[in-house]
A = this chain, B = another copy of it.
Amino acid sequence: MNDVTPTTPEGTNPGSQSALRRLNEQRVLDTLGAQSTLTQAELARATGLSSATISNIVKSLTAQHRVQTAPVTSSGRRAQGVALLDVADVAAGIDFGRSNVRVVLAHPGFRLLDESFRSLSIGHCAEESIVVAAQMLAEACARTGIKQQELLGAGIGVPGPIDHRNNMVIHGAILPEWVGIDIAGQLRSALGIAVMIDNDANLGALAQITWGEHQTCEDLCFLKIGTGIGSGLILNGALYYGHLGITGEIGHATIFDQGAICRCGNRGCLETAASTSTMIELLAQAEGRPISVEDVIERALSGDSATLRVIDDAGVAVGHALANIANLINPEAMVIGGPLAPLGDFLLAPIRRGLNRHAIPLVAENTALHMSMLGDRAEALGAVALILRKYRSTTIVQLPDATNR
């Protein structure tokens, strides 16, 4: 399920017991401290150590989170630049779900340091979630020995469209309790660090090109299917925000003219056909008792025909909506996220059918369709990436040997 390996805090033990090794490591660290970023070749010349030794030391220091590497151009050729990683060069990602909070800490080298998850009561107020998130972040910092006030910042994911003019969740969001609240301001006060706030589906999209398997993808659509349905767009290699920041809102695209009335006041919206709430409701009605998303997944995987039919119908509706997106923006890849990801092909196959049916054939053939490999963690990983990418793009500009880029 995961292609991100969460690493536990370490680095107190330099890894090698040999005094010579420690001495050489210190020499590399001292050289980097004086020189900012150097390539491995430059490090070898500056320290007099062999390329093989430098390579081993850089590997070890990277594992200890004491240096980071990033591609640079040296004398017109591409190389790995090595730079000191201050313990303060850590960012937080906080993802608020409808009924939970996830907090991660990561380095600019995009290596996870800590991750935690906590449930919230449904219908919790925004203030309550903020208190929980602040507590979780403080605990994460304590676990990793990081001073919270030295964090680069916290990226924040919220499950609703955000008006970029005032940073507020707009009306119609899945969390009506959050509408009109200055979440960024309250979090900034509660956490004592800089925050950047974004919609969860946007962050899911950012996670795909940062931590996922789509790091070279320039145009990608991430679709999150949950209680609500929303998408995030990567266009020309960056998150796309449009005029007000309210993009990717396809949950209320009409799929069935005469379909069910939606909470938005319209009818036949994609959410009425394919949200997890709709699936749960259809199956619970038939059974006469409440069921959960986990039940839906378990029954589908065990071959229950009613569950598979519900998933199939939802998938075709999602594929139809994705076809309209594909015809419009012609992405290289579309990635499905949210709690249904474990369904794999049970969900992906009907989505592909809907996509093929409604998209221009050449577009359908050339659009990769995947389940997100990042599972429920995509949004929190995207949230921390929001801060790290900003930081990284700033530091890369300052690299002395990156002028040929």
Contacts and interface: CB of A to CB of B under 8 A. Distances in A.
Interface of A: 161, 163, 170-172, 218-219, 231, 233, 235-236, 240-250, 252-254, 256-258, 264, 266, 320, 324-325, 327-332, 357-358, 360-363, 366-367
Given A236-B236, A249-B360, A320-B254, A243 B331 contact: yes
B161 A329 contact: no
Oligomeric state, in number of copies?
A: 2
Contact of A252 (B266, B327, B367): B327
A257 B316 CA distance: 13
A330 B250 contact: no
Contacts of A331: 242-243
B172 A244 contact: no
A324 B243 contact: no
Contact of A330 (B244, B256, B329, B361): B244
Given A236-B236, A257-B256, A328-B325, A246 B170 contact: no
A38 B59 CA distance: 55
Contacts of A250: 324, 327-328
A332 B245 CA distance: 11
B246 A219 contact: no
B248 A219 contact: no
B324 A253 contact: yes
B363 A249 contact: yes
Contacts of A258: 257
Contact of A366 (B171, B243, B266, B367): B243
A363 B329 contact: no
Contact of A327 (B170, B218, B219, B253): B253
Nearest to A368: B243
Nearest to A240: B235
Contacts of A218: 243
A355 to B, nearest CB: 13
Contacts of A254: 320, 324, 358
